[in-house]
A and B are shown apart, each in its own frame.
Chain A
Amino acid sequence: MSNGFYLVFVILFLFYTFSSEYFLTVLNIRNILSDAASIMVICTGLAFVIMTGSLDLSVGSVAFLCASITSLLIKAGQPVVLSLLFGMIAGIVVGAVNGVLVALLNFNPLLVTLGMMIGLRGVTMHLTKGWQIYIPTEVKKLAIDLAGPVQRIVILALVVIILGQLVLKRTRFGRYVTAVGCSGLSAKRIGLNVRAIRFSVFVVSGTLAALGGIIAMMNMGVLQPTLGRGLEFIAVAAIVMGGTSLFGGQGSMVPGTLFGVLMLGIIENGLALLAVSPFAYPLVRGVVIFVAMYADSLKNSRLAIAR
């Protein structure tokens, strides 16, 4: 993780603390975390795909699809657990389809997941007819009730990302993922089943995108038809800012991706507190990402010259 990134993080934090009296309050911090929970989970799954040197642009739409399925089922009176289950299964299935197309049939991952992103959104809109879908308050409370200092979904998201880190860095599977991202050819020569590994990360990504979408929906208590729109790019930005290389084989979830997600969440939250026009959000996001990456590249180029 680069120092440039941490520096920008700290500066931003201090800036907001001094600019708004509401920033450093318990309520606000809780909001930041609960809003970030969904994208944290999605990023964990996406990071696995990126670690193998591939890409999954469909995560936003998968989140939307699965959140819609779950909310539709709940609204129709189905038991919560069942609704959640079906939502997750949809995510696993989409992940598997992506995996087959990219890893087994060697389609270009960018094209496949892009197509999936567009197609799934259309399918889901058809399912929801573009309506907002409200879920009962008891269900929403399941998610946002406090478990200790923060909401349950926040705990869940933290557990997921920490688990993701442990699996990536400390299990054989995680090693295989890194190896494939680092050098697919070398991995093949050791006898690794490269196709199986590439397939499985897509399944992980789909599953966690589903979970992330459901978390986002329950956090708000309503399924918005815009859920997940543009999410994939924020997710990729958070992951890359956190030090993961898009080429694969390098990076971490904790602290890397975690801080990337938090950084983006804080930016957004601070802007809202300062009553900045919502049209400026993407601009500010872009500028901060740019500054953090620039600081990072300065550090890298200094290293290169020193060698």
Chain B
Amino acid sequence: MRSVTLEVKSVYKQFSGVEVLKDVNLEAASGEVLGVVGINGAGKTTLMNIIAGEVALDKGTLLIDGEEVTVQSPKDAEKFGIALIHQEPVDFAHMSVAENIYLSDLPMMKGLPFIQRRKMEKQAREQLQRLGSNLNPGSRLSELSIGGRQQVAVARALAQNARIFLFDEPTSSLSFKEKQYLFDLIGRLKQRGATIIYITHFLDEVLQICDNVCILRDGRVASSGPIGKYKLQDVIREMIGRDLASFEHRQPRGSRRELLRVESLSAGTLVRNVSFSIYSGEVLGIWGLMGSGRTELVRALLGLYPVSAGKLLVRDGVSMRQISGRQLLRSCGYVTETRHDDGLFLPQAVWWNISSAFLKAFEKQPFFAMDVRREMDAGKTMAERLQIQMPGVTYPVRQLSGGNQQKVVLAKWLLRQPEIYFMDEPTRGVDVGAKREIQKIIRDLVSEGAGILLISSEIEEMMSLSDRIIVLRGGTAVQEVPYAEFSKEHLMSLGVGNGSET
């Protein structure tokens, strides 16, 4: 007997006149995983926030076990057994695992204001083991990886007797192994009869672990039903309303020029004697597994990581000239892996961010004054070109969705019009629609003659965007793979290393 625990009926929500959810209906049953997918702006996060009590709905009803409920705060949600597991779990980094799990319900000694530490740790260990986790309840949270912190968040929810779990993009920062742990954990929750709602961008995961799927588009449910009904193409089509075409590799205009030459670069243990060149009009993919040194390589190139040996040369007219990493940083475009930490000035306006890497261009002589009007115009033009969706250029960047934030990062570098770009996971944490747009921007840039070094963990993206790929393993450049030889198996095996190099 399928028992529906959570029902959402005709929910409507608007923010400052923008309709985010228009008449959304869904239902989730115990012992099942419901996947919720949709591009950014489709309303998934808002829907989850409404269910979890962080945002109030304007119209519509929520029913739990058939009875109408009002969830107006996270405390209400907790009362009804709803737990929201955030993408980057919010927790107390300096406290222990056990303390984090039992913080709202610490076991106290009778009559005394002291915590029963041993009992708490024992209970925590039991909870964790039931989840299949072998975390030490005494470890400090800051020592754990994101996967570990997720486990703690789930354990805490269980300690508060949650029955409905909402996972918001849980796998964006997880390694392969941690992903498996997570799926295992979800499986165990299923067995215990929990109701699970799973939001993700990674459609293959939806096909892998979800029993049902609900596809949101433009604030409405475009389609929903058991997962068996859908193929990957179908889901994509429902999400964006049309089929995706793949990229053609066009020939770049003009002749091929060497833009950057890296000779024998070494830095720490993760970059060992790496040499390569970047040419105009091409995307050079750097592929490797986590820990192979890709990000470190780029950081070392740009002088952000101490270099122990090696030379950098850039094109200067007809010949190559040696430069330092810092000089390269000032003249190139560098899209980082972690836009939240180091790619954006979150409280500042969109236009402020867009012009921030090229302020010299907007200086009005004679008094070193900035020409704010021109900056805002430039920001608006860029935003249109990249199709950034936002209330306006004067709004703080932190109000934008992930995909649009990433576009602001790109806009910032595009304004500099550099010849060379370094892009580290440019479509991470970005919805399918914006991902597509960003990929197109990348291809457009190379067709205009730029040279782009691309790092991406998504092998399909690597293969579809790159003109050639260099595989890194343990800090060394193992092999260069030309376009004609691209294949998932080949790249994977080079990355893992089992003697298939030529």
Contacts and interface: CB of A to CB of B under 8 A. Distances in A.
A250 B367 CA distance: 23
B341 interface: yes
Between B304, B346, B368, the greatest number of chain A beta carbons within 10 A of the residue's beta carbon is seen for: B368
A174 B348 CA distance: 14
A171 B369 contact: yes
A171 B367 CA distance: 8
Interface string B327-352: 00110001010000111111110000
A172 B347 contact: no
Contact of A175 (B329, B330, B343, B359): B359
A179 B336 CA distance: 17
A185 interface: yes
A175 B330 CA distance: 17
A176 B370 CA distance: 12
Given A170-B369, A171-B368, A172-B370, A183 B356 contact: no
Given A172-B359, A191-B329, A183 B344 contact: yes
A275 interface: no
Between B330, B341, B369, the greatest number of chain A beta carbons within 10 A of the residue's beta carbon is seen for: B369
Contact of B342 (A174, A175, A176, A183): A183
B357 interface: yes
B360 interface: yes
A153 B222 CA distance: 69
Given A175-B359, A191-B326, A186 B370 contact: no
Interface in A191-229: 191
Contacts of B368: 171-173
B76 to A, nearest CB: 15
Contacts of B363: 171-172
A10 interface: no
Interface in A159-190: 166, 170-176, 178-179, 182-183, 185-186, 188-190
Contacts of B334: 189
A173 B348 CA distance: 16
A188 B304 contact: yes
Contacts of A183: 341-342, 344-346
A270 interface: no
Contacts of A179: 345, 356
B483 to A, nearest CB: 30
A249 interface: yes
Interface string B12-39: 0000000000000000000000000000
B370 A175 contact: yes
Contacts of A186: 341-345
Contacts of B326: 191
Given A172-B359, A182-B347, A250-B347, A189 B370 contact: no
Contacts of B348: 178, 182, 249
Given A182-B348, A189-B334, A189-B336, A172 B343 contact: no
Contacts of A188: 304, 342
Interface in B369-393: 369-370, 372
Nearest to A171: B368
B341 A185 contact: yes
A18 to B, nearest CB: 40
Nearest to A172: B359
Contacts of A178: 345, 348
Contacts of A182: 345-348
B455 to A, nearest CB: 15
B370 A171 contact: yes
Interface in A105-145: none
Contact of A249 (B330, B342, B345, B367): B345
A249 B330 CA distance: 22
B80 to A, nearest CB: 21
A251 to B, nearest CB: 11
Interface string A72-110: 000000000000000000000000000000000000000
Nearest to A166: B369
A188 B341 CA distance: 11
B357 A190 contact: yes
13 contacts: A166-B369, A170-B369, A172-B359, A172-B370, A174-B370, A175-B359, A178-B345, A182-B345, A183-B342, A185-B342, A186-B345, A188-B342, A191-B329
Which 10 A/B pairs are nearest by Cβ-Cβ distance?
A185-B342, A191-B330, A182-B345, A190-B357, A191-B329, A171-B368, A172-B359, A170-B369, A186-B342, A189-B342
Interface of B: 304, 326, 329-330, 334, 336, 341-348, 356-357, 359-360, 363, 367-370, 372, 412
Given A172-B370, A183-B345, A188-B304, 14 more contacts: A171-B368, A172-B360, A174-B370, A175-B370, A176-B359, A179-B345, A182-B345, A182-B347, A182-B348, A188-B342, A189-B304, A189-B329, A249-B347, A249-B348
